[in-house]
Amino acid sequence: MVKTSFDKQTGILHSIFQGEVTIDKLVDYIRATKNNTDYPRKLKIFTDSEHAEMNFSPADLMRIVEENYNSLEKYTFIHDAIVVDSPRVTAITMLYQELAKTNKYKFEVFSSRDAALQWLVEQ
């Protein structure tokens, strides 16, 4: 499951991944973010995947990359701070980081919520 809430005070979109997260759920989340015209065009996203079981393969990453590229057409820039807590999710996230390099999207992987939020505030 993917839950989102936007904090107007900080300008940060909080995305929480819990339980089983399939490729389809992730793509739906990316498309919903792309189509939301209320978010600032320079979007900061805090992604908490500490309690998620990512149920997709490394081969599915290219589909995620393609969806993100489509989403970036609607934004000036996106900063994404991703909190992970398992070796498997860390490995998938690091691989994704290499595949998704673009001038309009930057994300970092963190092991703590505080460090992730601090990085976003500094962007």
pLDDT at 88: 74
**57 has a pLDDT exceeding 80:** no
**34 has a pLDDT exceeding 90:** yes
Class of domain 2-122: alpha beta
Max CA-CA distance within the chain? 38
Choose among 42, 30, 40, 22: nearest CA to 4. Answer: 30
Q: Could you tell me the residue ranges of all domains in the chain?
A: 2-122
**38 has a pLDDT exceeding 80:** yes
Mean local confidence (pLDDT), 108-114: 91
Q: Token pair for residue 41?
A: 């065009």
**91 has a pLDDT exceeding 90:** no
Range scoring the smallest mean pLDDT among 23-27, 54-58, 64-68, 100-104: 54-58
pLDDT at 112: 92
Q: pLDDT > 70: what percent of the chain?
A: 100
Residues contacting residue 31 through CB under 8 Å, at least 6 positions apart: 67, 71
Cα gap 2→43, rounded to integer Å? 18
Residues contacting residue 118 through CB under 8 Å, at least 6 positions apart: none
